[in-house]
Amino acid sequence: MYNLVGQKSLDLKVNNPQKYNFEPKELLANIINMYANMGREEIFRKNIVNDSRSFKSEIFTKGLKIINNQKKGVVVDQSQIKKFEILVKNLLILSCDLENEEMYYENIPEEFLDPVLQTLMKDPVELPSSKTIVDFITISKHYIFIY
C-alpha cells in the first residue's frame, strides 16, 4: 500500500501497463478490501502495527482519504470503506498503546531482558551448558528437538 499512496506514488510507472494488466487504482481497492476483511482479527492488527515496514499511520490515513474521495476513481464498497475506517482507528489506537508500552519498558533492568531478542522475559529458563538465562519462547524457536 505504501507504494500506491505514499510520497513516491506518482513515480510508480510501468511501461505498457495494458500488457501487464497494471491497474493501480484496482490494486489499491483490492488491498483495502483485504485489510478491511482481515481487520477484525486482533492478531492481524497487532502484526501490522509491529511491522514497521507495513505500518505507517499516515499511509493508512491517506489510503482512507483516497477511497473516501470519489474523484480519485478508487472504487470500494461502502461497507468495506466502513470496515477499513474502523481498522485505521484501531491501528492508530494500538500504535499509541504500543508506544506507551515501549516507554514503560525502557527502564527494565538488563537481567529481565531476553539476551537474544531484548524483550521482557515471560518464562525465563537457564540453559544447562552456558547457564545463560533466556525466555523459553525464544529458545524453543531456535532449538531443534531430536528424538
Read off the pTM: 0.64
Q: What is the tens place of the pLDDT at every residue in 27-75? A: 999 999 999 999 999 999 999 988 877 788 899 999 999 888 877 788 8
Distance CA 49, CA 92 (A): 9
Query: How many angstroms separate the CA atoms of 66 and 25, rounded?
Result: 10
Per-residue pLDDT at 104: 63
Question: Mean pLDDT in the chain?
Answer: 85
Do 95 and 117 form a contact (C-beta atoms < 8 A)?
Answer: no
Coil, strand, or helix at residue 71?
Answer: helix
